[in-house]
Amino acid sequence: QAPGKELMWLATIKSDSGRKSYSGVSQGRFTLPRINGQNTVTLQMINLKAEDTATYYCAK
């Protein structure tokens, strides 16, 4: 969540299938690698811009 802005959905990964969906904002720059055999997902970001400054939340 960027300071003073509303929450924005970026990506989803299905726990059963591992299928991933990305918003247009995150497509191509944000990825959700999943560690096989663990219930662990990380958010990886490339080509960061000043406007990417925000607090990022994860929900299950």
Exposure of 10 by Cβ count < 10 A (0-12 exposed, 13-18 middle, 19+ buried)?
A: buried
Tens of pLDDT, residues 4-32:
889 999 999 888 888 999 998 887 899 98
pLDDT at 40 over 80: yes
pLDDT more than 70, % of the chain: 100
pLDDT value for 37: 72
pLDDT at 44 over 90: yes
Enumerate the domain spans of the chain.
11-48
